Structure 1
Amino acid sequence: MACSRSSRWSRTLIAGCALALTLSSVGVAVPKAAVAQPQPAGALTLPEGPAQAWLLADLDTGRILASRNPYERHAPASTIKVLLAMVVLDHLSPDNFARANTSHTEVECSCVGLAPGQPYTTRQLLAALLMVSGNDAANMLADMLGGQRSAVAAMNRKAAAVGARATRASSPSGLDGPGWESVTTPHDLAAMLRAALAYPLIAQIMRAPSAQFPGKTITNQNELLTRYPGDLAGKTGYTNLARKTYVGAAQRGSRRLAVVQMYGTGDLYGQAIGLFDWGFGQA
């Protein structure tokens, strides 16, 4: 288990790593299933679930409340689009626009349905990217950043800057292919989400139930917006290599928590709800 020292989030995690090493050094086994703080009387039981690697953390302090394999590397699938969104806003105005072309639509979908020749603003493309996971929108945004190679290079620099040093993006959309498999960890996805929600437009888009898009209304695919009171943001992903992935945040009172799940096969939403409930139930 490696601990990055490059951010406030990462510095918070170092204490957790040191604790694990201390316990191991005196012969006390650290549970592989989860590392968590003691539960108060009457608190919910920490839920197990279908994700092989997951993490529950305080979004504001970076403190990990519970985890399973938080530094294990997996393909992120579309959860990496949160990283692309930050890069886009670092370089483009929300009101910038460009016209779609056929190369943007030549991609494995999920897609928002770009129409070649139609102009789209950065803001509209970000909504398509984060709400309906448009791979065509990711392609077009990458072109607006100077092409896929430039966009991916900027994504990797941004990942390092926010403390996600085990992350390697190889495509703007999170799609996998021979020679360009992306990898990240639950720790890194949590760090990226925390940084992304500091961008007001990203936070606004991710908590919006719908948005206007040229020729249609698009609906946010994050089911927890309607299923979990206080949900702030969520991004799902799936590829054959990544299996199911999810990164999200919720708020109750003044507390904000983040959940990351990777390499899952079942109901990640149900597990996320259980983790949020458990986290909010802690003192």
Structure 2
Amino acid sequence: MNDLSGFSVLPRLRVVLAGLAMVALTAPASAAPAAKDGRTEAPIAFLYDLTSDAVLFAKQPDLPSPPASMATLMTTELTFRALEAGSLKETDTFRISEDAWRRGGAPSRGSAMFAKLNSQVAVSDLLRGMIVQSGGDAAITLAAGIAGSEPAFADLMNARAQELGLARSRFRNATGLPDPEQVMTARDISRLAAHLIRAYPERYALFAEPEFTWNKIAQRNRNPLLSDYPGADGLKTGYTADSGYGLVGSARRDGRRLIVVLNGLESSKARAEEARKLLDWGFSAFETKRLFDAGETVAEARVFGGATRHVPLAADAAVDVLTPKNDDARVIARVVYDGPLTAPVRKGDRIGVLRVWRGEMLTVETPLRAAEDVGEGGLGRRAVDGAMELVGDWIHQVVARI
């Protein structure tokens, strides 16, 4: 993976040659350093703007820690996915096994749906029992019903986590019950929440349901944001002695959606207060700066053996960065790609990624695609480019020996 080589001045980004096939793209735009740790008492915190695809705050975002019931977001994702694929129906029923009843139901003395032993429960009700009531019995029953057993379901969770880019998350059960090998990071939890919102917009509404009654036992949704934070519509709380009090929440306001993740707090009160505080700050303290319009050339990548020497790169959509108001720090942007590119290049081919830092915080990461076709050049052009590549390889080998 190399920094992009480009030799022309691009809109709003100054290209600085840093060596053979390497440049840094730097923009003197309004920005700010990473938010101070003192902004929240939570040991682990992450605030993400889904609308602008921007990280607003990060405190130990990549530290693996016990997720408690927030792990059921992955159980939910796999269930939603099976429903969308048609391999599962909401009317399908699964039996509440003795294992699910003892470890996740009434005898467990933890959060439960309170489903009766050996009763048959519809998938639609199990989902509400897991999402609204945080029922371990519901999660275990869904896992066993979908995969045959909870350990087999955990294998599916891990495979799906890799597909979704949750690189530092590991699952051992469907409930989030304590297991030393089950961990998630705040960044991964936020990424999973964003996926649920984007991929399943209609089913996501389950996270906003205020209460659910089963077996004549009514329970309110444990998410404190739903009752008193304007625009809140999800997602999940979690608590074990190992994890402390955690929460992943989402709220919409003025056309923006924020996702907040906290973990490791000492009380449910602190969890609710810190979540509200970070969301308030995220909604009020930032302004949007446009870096590139949709379709605008972000950079140019060198093409070997092409009819032209460079191909323009553009993002799929407009690239915005959120910056704290009245701050004059810099935004740093870098284009990274696997190279060198070899002709032919097709319009729409994914070439690399644009990464934007606000101070030391990576806030935006978006793919870049070829904005036009580049066909193969003539024999002379290919010969010259081939010779340049050989010289470049020789220089790199000499430098390596030194």
**Is TM more than 0.5 here?**
yes
Corresponding residue for 2:89?
Answer: 93
Say if 1:139 and 1:148, in contact at 8 Å, map to a contact too.
yes
Change (3 A) 1:139 1:54: same
CA-to-aligned-CA distance 1:141-172 (integer Å, 9 cap, x gap):
11102211111111111212222111001111
CA-to-aligned-CA distance 1:110-154 (integer Å, 9 cap, x gap):
111010232211111111111111111111111102211111111
Match of 2:277 among 247, 261, 274: 274
- Alpha-carbon separation, structure 2, partners of 1:215 and 1:118: 14
Corresponding residue for 1:240?
Answer: 241
What is the Cα-based RMSD across aligned positions, in Å?
A: 2.1
Say if 1:113 and 1:136, in contact at 8 Å, map to a contact too.
yes
- Normalising by structure 2, we get a TM-score of 0.57
Corresponding residue for 1:64?
Answer: 55
- Normalising by structure 1, we get a TM-score of 0.80
- Alpha-carbon separation, structure 1, partners of 2:193 and 2:217: 28
Match for 1:70: what amino acid? P
Say if 2:69 and 2:239, in contact at 8 Å, map to a contact too.
yes
Would you say 1:176 and 2:178 are equivalent positions?
A: yes
Match of 2:164 among 162, 179, 187: 162
How far has the Cα of 1:208 moved from its partner?
A: 1.1
How many residue pairs are counted as aligned between the two chains?
A: 242
Say if 1:210 and 1:220, in contact at 8 Å, map to a contact too.
yes
- Alpha-carbon separation, structure 1, partners of 2:118 and 2:79: 21
CA-to-aligned-CA distance 1:61-99 (integer Å, 9 cap, x gap):
431011111111111111010111011122222221122
Say if 1:156 and 1:169, in contact at 8 Å, map to a contact too.
yes
- Alpha-carbon separation, structure 2, partners of 1:202 and 1:130: 11
Between 101-110 and 181-190, the greater mean CA deviation after superposition? 101-110
How far has the Cα of 1:212 moved from its partner?
A: 4.3
Match for 2:100: what amino acid? H
Kindly name which structure, 1 or 2, has the bigger radius of gyration based on alpha carbons. 2
- Alpha-carbon separation, structure 2, partners of 1:212 and 1:165: 36
- Alpha-carbon separation, structure 2, partners of 1:70 and 1:272: 15
Structure with the higher fraction of residues in helix conformation: 1
Between 45-54 and 186-195, the greater mean CA deviation after superposition? 45-54
SS in 2 for 1:110: coil
SS in 1 for 2:278: helix
SS in 1 for 2:39: coil
Match for 1:50: what amino acid? E
Higher relative contact order (CA 8 A, sep 6+): 1
Match for 1:211: what amino acid? F
Paired-residue identity, %: 27
Structure with the higher fraction of residues in strand conformation: 2
Between 258-267 and 204-213, the greater mean CA deviation after superposition? 204-213
- Alpha-carbon separation, structure 1, partners of 2:202 and 2:152: 23
How far has the Cα of 1:196 moved from its partner?
A: 1.5
CA-to-aligned-CA distance 1:245-282 (integer Å, 9 cap, x gap):
11110000210000001222240110110111111112
Q: Structure 2 unaligned runs (5+)?
A: 1-23, 25-31, 83-87, 288-402
Match for 1:161: what amino acid? E
Say if 1:97 and 1:121, in contact at 8 Å, map to a contact too.
yes
Corresponding residue for 1:12?
Answer: none
How far has the Cα of 1:229 moved from its partner?
A: 0.7
Match for 1:191: what amino acid? R
Within a 5 Å distance, the mapping from 1:6-155 to structure 2 comes to: 35-36=34-35, 48-91=39-82, 92-107=88-103, 108=108, 109-145=110-146, 146-155=148-157
